[in-house]
């Protein structure tokens, strides 16, 4: 019998991308798709591969007969319901932060550590944070060949990393400042937003995002670090199996709707040239190399959004650091950074 796939959080921002991915997948091995959401969204109709499905309310029984349950919901919902799905016999593939650092839960990027899906004592597999994921296919491929020892990363993170509320806020802010030619005097952006009925208190971001960048993502952790920056460090170590990997990350939100970019400074145990790195990227099916600066070709978020691969460019050998490459990576944070990676894990589980 063909396996049953559940999607928990079907009506959210990532849920919508997940349905888009399912609709466009060349092969579809699932016998049944079950859309699950909160009571508020239950009863909603959504179309998956030409079939109109009715969203059902989350309950223990909703997981009966499910082989794989994908969770795209906030941490606390996953923390409560993923173990229940597992008890009912499903493998839970969770895109929240609830289980990522749990020693009994594998944290999986199929291109890097698909073998880890087999060890899942809790019946749960975690999907990495979108910022980590946006670079992992590229960095993981280099690591396999040259053995990664250090990562210094600065992010250019999209508004949609903060969910539908982040997308809506950025669009509203852009509309409020457009044509006003503000931005050359302190406070002008904030004033334009207030005047447009967009008070700072209503924003998911701690500062205006239109015509601005905001060096903050997540919540405050020890010693001034933002949770997103520690996730990049801890998840990169776990995914690649390098417990002593040296990592410094600075996470910055930029006024881009979708696609996270990262400036990566990566040091390896072994010597590596630009030509060798190009070879590695060319050989990795999920990576697209766009690296021709003589013709002004490099990845930008606008070129990447809506696509599945990780785009890499600006590959340079560091001039002063041995065995080190500098490069720029762009990945759609809603696709490979969230829905796609989760779906790839789900497919691998039954393949």
Question: Does 317 carry a binding-site annotation?
Answer: no
Which structure tokens are listed for 325? 């490459």
Which structure tokens are listed for 30? 């699932």
Which residues participate in catalysis according to the annotation?
130, 260
CA pair distance 266, 143, nearest whole angstrom? 9
Return the SS3 of 40: coil
- Residue 30 or 328: the one with the smaller Cβ distance to a second copy is 328
Residues 280-299 that bind a second copy (CB under 8 A): 291, 293-294, 296, 298-299
Give the residue, chosen from 84, 196, 207, 350, that forms a contact with a second copy under the rule CB under 8 A: 207
Closest among 346, 332, 347, 316 to 95, alpha carbons compared = 346
Q: Is there binding between residue 199 and a second copy (CB under 8 A)?
A: no
**DSSP H or E segment with residue 326:** strand 324-331
Give the residue, chosen from 34, 116, 233, 336, that forms a contact with a second copy under the rule CB under 8 A: 233
Residues 304-343 that bind a second copy (CB under 8 A): 304-307, 313-321, 324, 326, 328
Sign of CA dihedral 106, 107, 113, 117: positive
State the DSSP code for 314.
E
Tell me how far, at minimum, the Cβ of 220 lies from a second copy, in Å: 5
Residue ranges of the alpha helices (H) in 209-326? 227-240, 274-282, 301-304
Q: Is there binding between residue 301 and a second copy (CB under 8 A)?
A: yes
- Residue 2 or 318: the one with the smaller Cβ distance to a second copy is 318
Stretch that binds a second copy, among 29-37, 91-99, 247-255, 340-348 (CB under 8 A): 247-255
Give the residue, chosen from 261, 286, 333, 342, that forms a contact with a second copy under the rule CB under 8 A: 261
**DSSP H or E segment with residue 186:** none
User: What residues are designated binding site?
Assistant: 11-14, 40-41, 100, 157, 160-161, 253, 333
User: What residues are designated binding site for phosphate?
Assistant: 100
């Amino acid at each position: 019998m063909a396996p049953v796939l559940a999607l928990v959080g079907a009506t959210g921002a990532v849920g919508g991308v997940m349905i888009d991915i399912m609709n466009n997948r060349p092969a579809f091995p699932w016998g049944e798709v079950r859309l699950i959401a909160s009571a508020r969204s239950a009863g909603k109709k959504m179309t998956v591969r030409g079939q109109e499905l009715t969203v059902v309310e989350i309950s223990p029984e909703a997981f009966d007969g499910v082989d794989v349950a994908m969770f795209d919901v906030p941490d606390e919902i996953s923390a409560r319901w993923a173990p229940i799905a597992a008890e009912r016999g499903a493998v839970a593939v969770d895109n929240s932060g609830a289980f990522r650092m749990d020693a009994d839960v594998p944290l999986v990027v199929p291109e890097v550590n698909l073998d880890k899906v087999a060890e899942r004592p809790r019946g749960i597999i975690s999907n990495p944070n979108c910022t980590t994921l946006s670079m992992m296919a590229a960095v993981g491929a280099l690591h396999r060949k040259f053995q990664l020892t250090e990562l210094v990363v600065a992010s250019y993170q999209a508004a949609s990393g903060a969910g539908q509320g982040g997308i809506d806020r950025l669009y509203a802010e852009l509309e409020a400042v457009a044509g006003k030619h503000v931005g050359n005097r302190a406070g002008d952006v904030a004033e334009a937003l207030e005047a447009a009925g967009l008070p700072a208190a209503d924003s998911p971001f701690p500062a205006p995002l239109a015509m601005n960048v905001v060096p903050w993502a997540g919540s405050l952790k020890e010693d001034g670090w933002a949770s997103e920056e520690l996730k990049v460090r801890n998840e990169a170590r776990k995914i690649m199996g390098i417990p002593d990997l040296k990592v410094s990350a600075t996470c910055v939100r930029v006024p881009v709707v979708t696609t996270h970019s990262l400036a990566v400074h990566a040091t390896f145990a072994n010597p590596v040239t630009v030509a060798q790195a190009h070879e590695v990227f060319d050989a990795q099916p999920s990576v697209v190399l766009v690296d021709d600066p003589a013709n002004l070709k490099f990845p930008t978020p606008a070129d990447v959004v809506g696509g599945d691969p990780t785009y890499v460019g600006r590959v340079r050998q560091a001039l002063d650091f041995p065995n080190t490459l500098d490069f720029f990576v762009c990945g759609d944070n809603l696709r490979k950074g969230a829905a796609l990676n989760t779906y790839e894990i789900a497919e691998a589980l039954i393949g």
